[in-house]
């Protein structure tokens, strides 16, 4: 599975992977609660503004002053809803365009360079701290001062072999 995801070179989200039903249920529930809150607020304001026109509707927001204030609040809520809808549509289109052009124009991950970096890392760590089995099975290990790593050790190692992709 790990090799398969490395071959694509794209970012993967846990939500869209197979399984993860609890994550999908949780995020779906949060989305539904958020929309229920927004729609409930809009319904509350609109019913209250229409209660002055139609006497059969309940006055959910008691107001003593005037019809103007409730209508003003309804107008503001309606305008902000339209603006947020348009912004979300615009940002979605912009994000899709940017991702499409980015993935088409740039090589995301060069697998040969990645394999070379992994091999360099493994060789360096094996030389410094012992083989892989020893490193993964040891419970306590005292690092001698000569074995301590400098701040940019791996970056220097990758620069030495011209496989550093980080500026």
pTM: 0.37
The CB-side HSE value for 130 (13 A sphere, CA atoms) comes to 9
CA 17 to chain centre: 14
Is residue 55 predicted with pLDDT exceeding 80? no
CA 98 to chain centre: 16
Place 107 in a pLDDT band, splitting at 50, 70 and 90: low
> How high is the pLDDT of residue 29?
93
Place 86 in a pLDDT band, splitting at 50, 70 and 90: very high
How many CB atoms are closer than 10 A to CB 158? Answer: 19
The CA distances from residue 134 to 103, 115, 138, in Å, are 40, 22, 6
Is residue 94 predicted with pLDDT exceeding 90? no
Q: How far apart are CA 111 and CA 108, in angstroms?
A: 9
Place 159 in a pLDDT band, splitting at 50, 70 and 90: confident
Is residue 116 predicted with pLDDT exceeding 80? yes
The CA distances from residue 78 to 36, 61, 94, in Å, are 16, 17, 24
> How high is the pLDDT of residue 156?
87
Residue with the bigger pLDDT between 71 and 155: it is 155
Task: Give 76's contacts (C-beta < 8 A, 6+ positions apart).
Answer: none
Token pair 């503004």 in the structure block, residue: 49
> How high is the pLDDT of residue 11?
57
């Amino acid at each position: 599975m790990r090799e398969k995801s490395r071959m694509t070179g794209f970012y993967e989200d846990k939500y869209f992977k197979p399984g993860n039903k609890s994550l999908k249920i949780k995020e779906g529930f949060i989305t539904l609660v958020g929309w229920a809150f927004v729609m409930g607020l809009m319904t509350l304001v609109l019913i209250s503004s229409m209660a002055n026109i139609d006497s059969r509707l309940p006055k959910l927001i008691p107001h003593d002053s005037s019809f103007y204030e409730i209508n003003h609040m309804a107008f503001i809520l309606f305008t902000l809803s339209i603006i947020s809808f348009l912004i979300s549509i615009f940002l979605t289109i912009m994000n899709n365009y940017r991702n499409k052009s980015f993935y088409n124009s740039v090589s995301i991950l060069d697998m040969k360079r990645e394999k070379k970096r992994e091999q360099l890392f493994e060789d360096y760590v094996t030389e410094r701290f012992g083989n892989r089995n020893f490193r993964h099975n040891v419970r306590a290990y005292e690092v001698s001062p000569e074995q301590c790593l400098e701040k940019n050790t791996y970056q220097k190692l990758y620069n030495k072999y011209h496989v550093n992709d980080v500026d």
